[in-house]
């Protein structure tokens, strides 16, 4: 059994330390108040039993609270007071320096909590350590200086989650849709160097990767680019290659045969497209930005964005090449093809590609094969999105998410035209719905009262985020604010006008709807008797966002939070506050956003249809998934799910397994087992290898794929997942 120290380091549980601490407190009280050594031993053993039953590593604070409880249960109140006083004194000493020990454990790579905080960061790499070290300083400043105490206390108690506090000290935003079209067509500046409009497709791809890296280094969330913005450069290269081939034919044969010209120039064009796409894929996978990870970038594939039929055909060629290369994967250090985490791919299902007789159905079949093997692309239904994303003029729009699931709300510019690229999100604060329910004790009137109090807390926390960005000069990130990624502001100009009127969004996140509803109604939110309450909770949060928007002229939007490490944090906080409640707090994770609980048996089509109604109430971001077995030999079934997505839900994905053991060469699902300490570990079912450094495991956890493993809460959630197909 392990415990987690305050520094984040994971160490074996040592009962003698509890005995020693209680003995010290016991020695300071009068003889008639003292406990016997046997009583002290029983207290320590009781705490040990409690820790074992929790089925996870407790931190020092949790263990000390259990010690206090057991001392008082023995009636030794004077000893308990001395023990509490000692804890308080030590707490004051620690507060005088809150970061040094954390940073030292980061450098030595023995901070278990931070090591498992982000499934796409390798904590042994210097650049990641540097980012984490800076993050610890930022979090310390944020806690002590930048946020009101009640918001800090609520965050630490797990009532809310103030996202990305490790970047809050800087004036940075969350995620965005990069205006790649503006930057490529009108030129940009990177590191003080003018980058003019490219004269070929391959050059455009190269510039795009430089832009991706620069943008990723100036924000902390995901970014999205559209392949449509690269499509015009296919024709630029085509014309250039035709001139070159014509000149070569003229020189070699003395004439230019139109058929040979067409055949040779198109062949070379395809080769250039292949190289350009490969540049994007390999550059993104191998780049390490200033935060120590590959850029969190989403690539959008939407035929409907093309300006005309010729551009649509060229866009289809690019999409086909992207899918083919992702299907193949990338080579790991052993030279074996594996699934990369990024770039994330989003494919739009539309009338031109969803039916067997549609002109671009071949792309959809290729996408299905790619999903079955590599878990991407994910799917947006143009049909459903046009129904849900309507602007003030009543016009529906289809566009990509920012990163994994955060969606902008519809926006019409001063010229009456819809605008999405160049917009961004200011940040997220997430409400723990399970805590709202448990705090009410099941009393419905008290539930709504506490809900209001927590929503007000979130509103004030979100305004802290907004006010942190207000007054930011465009000079803070020229690539974003001055050179086209998000705007073309002047030097010395603030970004303030981009924070209001709906140009950018700010997100109220939520988590644990499934557990919240189960506690309040005694039923799953999939039960028709409980679904209305679940929808009422969703509408209540939307109504709050609407009120805040009217008050502040800021586009507050409800967002289905993709909890990664926070799912474990929330679960631990709930267990600490309310104990173990069956079906509510009896696992080391809580459910993401509105999702059906991962253990609940439900078929893929029923799940997607059910969750569609909650996506409609999550305008700031939502994604649904179905868990499937290996589908590489059953592509027709994958296509049936995709067609169902097109007709019923806006945004969804299929989760399969794509693993590899470097020790024995096993190519299949790496399993999760318990070790001798009760800790969940990944193990090759063929050779028993448990060395994470020699396992390639890819799992989707939050709308995106992770490849660096996860904390114990998320690992348990992955283990508990049932198949939906």
Catalytic residue numbers, as ranges: 174-175, 402, 404, 406, 425, 559, 564, 703
Determine which helix (DSSP H) or strand (DSSP E) holds 682, and give its type and residue range.
strand 680-683
DSSP 439-473: HHTT-HHHHHHHHHHHHHHHHHHHHHHHHHHTT-B
- DSSP letter for 143, please: I
Per-residue tokens: 521: 């109604």
d(CA 120, CA 295): 10
d(CA 114, CA 111): 6
Dihedrals φ, ψ of 10, to 5°?
-100, 125
Q: Do residues 402 and 425 lie in contact, with contact meaning Cβ atoms separated by under 8 Å?
A: yes
Residue 397's alpha-carbon distances to 352, 385, 412, 476, 531, in angstroms, are 17, 7, 11, 32, 29
CA 354, 358, 363, 369 torsion-angle sign: positive
Q: Exposed/middle/buried for 218, CB within 10 Å: 0-12, 13-18, 19+?
A: buried
Q: Exposed/middle/buried for 325, CB within 10 Å: 0-12, 13-18, 19+?
A: middle
Which of 389, 368, 455 lies closest to 656 in space, CA to CA? Answer: 368
d(CA 438, CA 447): 9
Q: What is the spatial order of strands in the sheet that 2-4 belongs to? A: 10-12, 2-4, 58-59
d(CA 720, CA 700): 14
Per-residue tokens: 717: 């959630």
Which of 347, 384, 450, 401 lies closest to 557 in space, CA to CA? Answer: 401
Which of 455, 400, 595, 434 lies closest to 520 in space, CA to CA? Answer: 434
Determine which helix (DSSP H) or strand (DSSP E) holds 507, and give its type and residue range.
strand 505-511
In 159-301, which ranges are continuous DSSP H helix?
A: 180-186, 201-216, 232-253, 258-286
Residue 643's alpha-carbon distances to 174, 315, 456, 626, 653, in angstroms, are 32, 22, 41, 14, 12
Residue 398's alpha-carbon distances to 262, 347, 391, 418, in angstroms, are 35, 12, 11, 11
Interacting residues of 163 by C-beta distance below 8 A, sequence separation 6+? 174, 427, 428, 429, 430, 509
Which of 442, 371, 430 lies closest to 637 in space, CA to CA? Answer: 371
d(CA 672, CA 718): 9
- DSSP letter for 390, please: B
Residue whose entry in the numeric block shows the structure tokens 């010690």: 67
d(CA 285, CA 293): 9
């Amino acid at each position: 059994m392990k415990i987690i120290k305050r520094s984040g380091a994971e160490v074996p549980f040592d009962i003698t330390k509890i005995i020693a601490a209680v003995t010290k407190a016991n020695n300071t009280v009068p003889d008639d108040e003292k406990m016997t050594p046997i009583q002290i031993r029983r207290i320590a053993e009781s705490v040990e039993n409690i820790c074992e039953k929790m089925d996870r590593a407790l931190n020092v604070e949790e263990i000390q609270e259990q010690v206090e409880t057991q001392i008082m249960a023995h009636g030794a109140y004077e000893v308990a007071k001395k023990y509490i006083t000692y804890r308080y004194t030590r707490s004051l000493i620690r507060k005088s320096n809150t970061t040094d020990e954390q940073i030292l454990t980061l450098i030595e790579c023995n901070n278990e909590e931070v090591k498992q905080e982000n499934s796409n960061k390798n904590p042994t790499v210097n650049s990641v350590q540097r980012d984490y070290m800076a993050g610890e300083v930022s979090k310390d400043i944020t806690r002590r200086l930048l946020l009101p105490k009640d918001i800090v206390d609520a965050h630490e108690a797990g009532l809310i989650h103030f996202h990305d506090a490790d970047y809050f000290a800087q004036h940075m935003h969350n995620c965005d849709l990069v205006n790649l079209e503006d930057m490529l067509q009108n030129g940009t500046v990177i590191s003080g160097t003018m980058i003019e409009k490219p004269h070929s497709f391959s050059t455009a791809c190269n510039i795009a990767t430089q832009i991706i890296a620069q943008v990723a280094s100036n924000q902390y969330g995901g970014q999205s680019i559209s392949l449509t913005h690269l499509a015009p450069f296919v024709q630029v290269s085509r014309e250039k290659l035709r001139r070159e081939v014509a000149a070569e034919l003229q020189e070699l044969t003395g004439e230019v045969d139109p058929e040979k010209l067409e055949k040779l120039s198109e062949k070379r064009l395809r080769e250039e497209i292949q190289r350009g796409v490969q540049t994007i894929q390999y550059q993104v996978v191998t780049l390490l930005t200033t935060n120590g990870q590959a850029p969190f970038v989403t690539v959008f594939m939407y035929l409907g964005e093309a300006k005309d039929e010729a551009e649509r055909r060229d866009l289809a060629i690019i999409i086909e090449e992207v899918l083919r290369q992702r299907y193949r994967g990338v080579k790991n250090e052993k030279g074996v093809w594996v699934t990369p985490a990024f770039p994330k791919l989003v494919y739009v299902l539309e009338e031109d590609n969803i039916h067997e007789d549609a002109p671009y159905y071949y792309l959809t079949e290729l996408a299905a094969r790619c999903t079955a093997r590599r878990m991407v692309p994910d799917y947006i239904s143009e049909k459903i999105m046009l129904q849900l994303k309507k602007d003030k003029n009543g016009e529906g729009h289809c566009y990509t998410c920012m990163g994994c699931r955060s969606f902008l709300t519809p926006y019409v510019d001063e010229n009456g035209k819809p605008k999405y690229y160049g917009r961004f999100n200011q940040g997220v604060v997430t409400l723990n719905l399970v805590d709202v329910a448990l705090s009410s004790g099941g009393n419905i009137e008290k539930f709504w009262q506490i809900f209001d109090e927590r929503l007000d807390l979130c509103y004030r926390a979100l305004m802290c985020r907004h006010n942190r960005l207000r007054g930011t000069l465009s000079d803070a990130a020229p690539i974003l604010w001055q050179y086209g990624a998000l705007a073309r502001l002047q030097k010395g100009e603030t970004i303030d006008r981009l924070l209001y009127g709906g140009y950018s969004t700010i997100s109220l996140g939520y988590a644990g709807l499934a557990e919240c509803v189960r506690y309040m109604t005694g039923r799953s939110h999939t039960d028709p008797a409980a679904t209305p309450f679940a929808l009422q909770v969703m509408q209540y949060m939307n109504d709050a966002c609407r009120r805040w928007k009217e008050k502040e002229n800021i586009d507050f939007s409800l967002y289905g939070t993709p909890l990664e490490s926070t799912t474990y944090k929330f679960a631990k906080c709930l267990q600490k506050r309310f104990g173990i409640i069956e079906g509510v707090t009896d696992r080391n994770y809580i459910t993401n956003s509105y999702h059906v609980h991962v253990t609940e048996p439900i078929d893929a089509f029923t799940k997607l249809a059910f969750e569609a109604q909650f996506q409609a109430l999550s305008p700031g971001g939502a994604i649904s998934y179905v868990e499937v077995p290996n589908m590489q030999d059953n592509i027709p079934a994958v296509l049936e799910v995709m067609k169902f997505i097109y007709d019923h839900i806006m945004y969804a994905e299929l989760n399969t397994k794509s693993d590899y053991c470097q020790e024995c060469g096993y190519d299949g699902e790496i399993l999760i087992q318990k070790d001798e300490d009760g800790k969940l570990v990944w193990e090759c079912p063929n050779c028993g290898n448990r060395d994470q450094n020699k396992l390639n495991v890819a799992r989707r956890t939050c709308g995106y794929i992770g490849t660096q493993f996860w904390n114990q809460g998320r690992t348990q959630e992955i283990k508990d997942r049932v198949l939906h197909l």
